[in-house]
Amino acid sequence: MVKSQESPVKIEHAGLNEHTQKMLQQLKIVTVIGSGTMGNGICHVFAQSGFDVHMMDINQTALDKAIGTIEKNMDRQVAKSALTDDQKKKALSRISTYTDMAEAVKDADIVIEAATENIDLKVKIFQQLDKLCPERTILASNTSSISITRIGSFTGRPGKVIGMHFMNPVPVMKLVEIINGYATDKEVTNLIHALSEYLGKVPCIVNDYPGFISNRILLPMINEAILALQEGVAGVEEIDTIMKLGMAHPMGPLQLADFIGLDTCYSIMNVLHMGFGAQKYAPATLLGNMVQAGYLGVKSGEGFYKYTPGSKDLVVAERFQNKSWKI
């Protein structure tokens, strides 16, 4: 692996005060916890931007799969001339994999946690990170909905805990939603804002309320689509087509739910439901059933659609092909 001696951040970053500029230039090693759908994409963009990336997961198979995914996605960029072959090789050589958290974080300047969306798990991870990381390390979470303030309160450094919410697929999507915990230091927010721009993203800062902005608005729409399907108002294809062609959404809500992962959607709805205490956020029974049964969307091979490796065809899952709701 190519170990750089200094931060890849060299350019004068327009509009940054001297302090933020200096902090940005001190960032060299980024550890990403979790190498699933989001973790591998986050590693991809940091490695492509010149950072040394430590990718950590409890599951070696997930790490191997993530490296394969990053390589495949970079090949796609090379084919589109968005990346040279040499840049791809250098970026891949900057990523090292770990199953031992202590090893993965011991030199980290910033950690981005992208493990499964579960509050108890995240609290445990942040407690471990707080113990294992150097004092200077910033601890960011890619959580879709869980309170940054709450996660930070379990650490001895709540001022250095922040939400850095990338969108899926990370190398393609421009937005980073930055979530200010109640105790997050302003200089940390400024730094993450500058870092997001350095990665070529467009950051938006929001305050810490359940679901923040993105998922407070997106997930109830997805849940409503699932409720409409559950009630037999229309079929999978009809619901997605109406939202695609009628509302100019690039993807229908049910396909998007498959893409996000139905387990993640379910967790986010539960956070909104509990956080606001309002019935309108209760997750659809069908969503809960699908998650319990292991139909999680793209990652498990079936959700509202059936996914066959190597095929790009969008095929409605057999159980939703019954059109008995039609008159």
Ligand X SMILES: NC(=O)c1ccc[n+]([C@@H]2O[C@H](COP(=O)([O-])OP(=O)(O)OC[C@H]3O[C@@H](n4cnc5c(N)ncnc54)[C@H](O)[C@@H]3O)[C@@H](O)[C@H]2O)c1
Give the relative orientation of helices 186-198 and 18-25 as an angle to the nearest 10 degrees: 60
Residue 137 within binding range of ligand X, rule CB under 6 A:
no
Residue 168 within binding range of ligand X, rule CB under 6 A:
yes
Residue 303 within binding range of ligand X, rule CB under 6 A:
no
> What is the footprint of ligand X within residues 181-220 (CB under 6 A)?
none
Among 17, 59, 60, 84, binds ligand X (CB under 6 A): 59
Residue 116 within binding range of ligand X, rule CB under 6 A:
yes
Among 7, 49, 62, 273, binds ligand X (CB under 6 A): 62
Residue 57 within binding range of ligand X, rule CB under 6 A:
yes
Residue 153 within binding range of ligand X, rule CB under 6 A:
no
Catalytic residue among 113, 117, 177, 302: 177
Query: Is 193 a residue of the active site?
Result: no
Query: H or E element: which one contains 286?
Result: helix 285-292
The structure tokens listed for 264 are 């993640």
Residue 242 within binding range of ligand X, rule CB under 6 A:
no
Task: Give Cβ neighbours of residue 73 (< 8 Å, ≥ 6 apart).
Answer: 41, 44, 169, 171
Query: Is 19 a residue of the active site?
Result: no
What Cα–Cα distance (Å) separates residue 195 from each residue in 9, 87, 189?
Answer: 9, 20, 10
Sole window of 55-63, 147-155, 156-164, 282-290 interacting with ligand X (rule: CB under 6 A): 55-63
Residue nearest to ligand X (CB): 36
Q: Identify which of residues 56 and 83 has a Cβ nearer to ligand X in the complex.
A: 56
Least distance from ligand X to the Cβ atom of residue 52, Å: 19
Give the E-state strand segments of the chain in sequence order: 29-33, 52-56, 95-98, 110-113, 138-141, 161-166, 175-180, 202-207, 305-306, 315-316
Least distance from ligand X to the Cβ atom of residue 36, Å: 2
Size of the site for ligand X (CB under 6 A): 28
Query: Is 215 a residue of the active site?
Result: yes
d(CA 93, CA 48): 10
Residue 251 within binding range of ligand X, rule CB under 6 A:
no
Catalytic residue among 73, 196, 215, 223: 215
Rg over alpha carbons for the chain, rounded to the nearest Å, is 20
Give the relative orientation of helices 85-93 and 37-48 as an angle to the nearest 10 degrees: 110
Among 9, 23, 33, 55, binds ligand X (CB under 6 A): 33
The structure tokens listed for 225 are 């689509």
Residue 143 within binding range of ligand X, rule CB under 6 A:
yes
The 3-state DSSP class for residue 325 equals coil
Cα-based angle 48, 50, 56 (whole degrees, multiple of 5): 75
Sole window of 6-14, 27-35, 222-230, 272-280 interacting with ligand X (rule: CB under 6 A): 27-35
Distance of CA 146 to the CA centre of its chain: 13
Query: Is 177 a residue of the active site?
Result: yes
Report the candidate in 318, 258, 251, 262 with the shortest Cα–Cα distance to residue 285.
Answer: 262
The footprint of ligand X (CB under 6 A) covers 33-39, 56-59, 62, 114-117, 121, 125, 142-144, 165, 167-168, 260-261, 264, 299
Active site residues: 144, 165, 177, 215
